[in-house]
Structure 1
Amino acid sequence: MTSSGVALTFLVLLGVVVLVGPWVLGTANRLDRLHVRTDAAWAALDAALARRSVVTRAVAVVCGTPELRAAADRAERAGRADRETAENELSALLDGLDRSVLAPALAAELADAEQRVVLARRVHNDAVRDTLALRRWRLVRWLRLAGTAPTPSYFEIAEPDTDAPTPRVSARVVLADREGRVLLFEGFDPARPDELFWFTVGGGVEAGEGLRDAAVREAHEETGLVVAPDALVGPVWKRHVAFTFDGLSFASEEWFFVHRVEGAEVDTSRFQELEQQTIRRHRWWSVDELRETGDTVYPVQLAEVLPDALDGWDGTTRSIR
């Protein structure tokens, strides 16, 4: 290369640095502030949950309900991985509590503690949403501007409601190809269209329908694939989760089967109207991609538990989140 060519290349690179450098620095600083905000929001939510446990123990003494006190203890001691399950179990017991036996002051304190949890959870999840949105930008991922900061995750806990959550049983299919990639759909809650998440094939079990039959039906409706019930492996996992969708609360019990395919065209023409409106796209994910993504994926532990499920099932249905 001639000296003039080297000089031109240098000037071009310098121009790129001058133009891109401030954006990179500004984005990194913004991302750092978002992570700080998320950490602070989690600390506030953790404190609100702890206060609810303290008040619940006082309520348990008055009501003479040792199971309520035990649930409060479990929720307070639970690690982050098990916290959602423990807190939702406590919420379920509080929903069934007869509050008429409580002194007005104690009832008011419990209601206040519950409301603070609701507010803190919403603030936390808003912070997580904003942080994940920026982390998903291609340049942010390519330049690794998030550094070593862990990917934040939503905290899914049922909010107190005058109506009990609707029980729901789901059959889900972990559909994997010959390379060990799993098929996931990306969708959103109509009430929160900006919060995208990925999920496995599957859906609700209809009245009088068995889990395997439901899984086979859902796989056909959502992918066009025809699967024999006895070709499904599992259920390999079971998941309990409380969530809201389109303004309605659900207490869901999800059962996961595994099915391997040599290769399949995904046909979504049988989607129901709601699925057509709320599912944006689908793709096949490798385990490494699941581990590295900043996107929200359900179940949360999919990247962790998928390799063992694909290697072979030992007959034990494991609880996951």
Structure 2
Amino acid sequence: MAVENVPQGCWVPLNKLVEIKLFKCSECEEIPMFGQLPNLKSLWLEGLRNLKAINSSFYGLVNEGTGIIFQALERLVLVEMPKLTKWAEVDSEGASDVQVFPNLQHLEISQCKQLMSFPNHTGSSIKSLIIMETGSMPLTCILKTKLKLLTELCLEGIDDLEYLPDWLLRNNPNLLELRIRMCSNLRELPDGLGTLNSLEKLIIRDCPNLERVADIGAQQSQGSLACLKILEICECKALMYLPCEMAEVQMEARQFKRFAEEKMAHDQEKVLALEDLLYKREEIIPSLTCEIQASQLRCILLNGELPFSSAT
């Protein structure tokens, strides 16, 4: 990868780049050959509102000597590309067994509602997957890689998402955080949810057609959801079934919240009382000072002394 220096007509190598962010480049219509950068670890593309396709040129030149593309990339973020409809596969006709994104750990795709064509090589190394305000096509293609290392999964604003595959939860025992928001057609969460022994945070919000959350009773002997610290289920008006284990957690959370609110209210009363005392103290001190000075003056006068001695 290089940038042409027009005045001098030379090329400047950029092989040491580890991070690139293109932000609000609204007239950009094509992504450069970032796949050629051997040390690139983070690529953030946001606000490329005129971009319609990520073509195969994005991966760079591929030939028989090409073994790995984006070999160091760990973080890839695509945000706010309303015209993006296609993300092409790598053109590997001139090479065999080409690896793409072998070390990708964080993938985020947000506000790309028109994206209907997606590559199948996003890699099984992903630990953090965030899909927001985008159709279900990218998620469907990503899931073909059979992810097994997820620690974070966030799905938001995917209107055509109805179900999550059961294997997705069963195959990711190290999942720590699961957030699902504004998926208007989501009907249920699979029973595999009960196998997430490491899950610490589960948030489900604004899923109006969600009717059922996993039957996790069968997995209780395995300590399912034993690590769960935060459980939030809000604005799921069609929800008809909630496992009793979750209901207990919800109840405990509500009780703790009530206790915390009462404690805060009590502490607030103490703070207000303290502030009142401090305010009164500020009022009393000046008047006490005046009284003390007046008393001192009276004592001096009674003793026949002048309050001020004249210099001789």
Q: TM-score, normalised by structure 2?
A: 0.22
Q: TM-score, normalised by structure 1?
A: 0.22
Structure with the bigger percentage of helix: 1
Higher-Rg member (1/2): 2
